[in-house]
Structure 1
């Protein structure tokens, strides 16, 4: 398996999961512990930084994987998730409302993570099928 692709997929899955956890946990933590409101981890800025980390990692690893396994559907689902994340970054809760933004963020995170999971598995399968070592 291509080191860059496998590591990139794992990193993108982890960052997408972190984004989903952030979306779910932030409102609960703010209700339970209002003193955490000033904590940078619960800020929208943290969400932006996660997105800026996920996007290049996703483009690189999904692109490398697609070159290897040639399944454009994996690239498509990842691209839809990335596009949705970028749209949310631009529109934010000002235009969508906080609830819709969170729901769409979760959907985007799941799309990206699923694309990377499939990419990782296809790359592993392709390498195990190759007897050219």
Structure 2
């Protein structure tokens, strides 16, 4: 379970038409334990994500999945509506919701444990090994 203020990492495959198809790794923090309008199914995170990060893992510093990247706040809409350009306001479905989905569909998975804190390079390597690039044509 992610904690408020905890360091996290996001891994995904954003903008593969322009960027590398080998994956993208970013660091941030859990900035809120709820999403838009206090939606408790989500975490708010500061790790930069782009289109294409959705579905990627959100990891704690031990390499455990604590969420699945799902959305980011639309900066252009917010600027037009509020007169403010938000930065790094992103969301992930909490791991508990993801595991409920897996359980309901009888999909096996492993659970992690709190372990040693990994340095960012080791965390990125672990995320890359556990992720796969999928494209629809």
TM over 0.5: no
Higher strand share: 2
Higher helix share: 1
Q: TM-score, normalised by structure 1?
A: 0.29
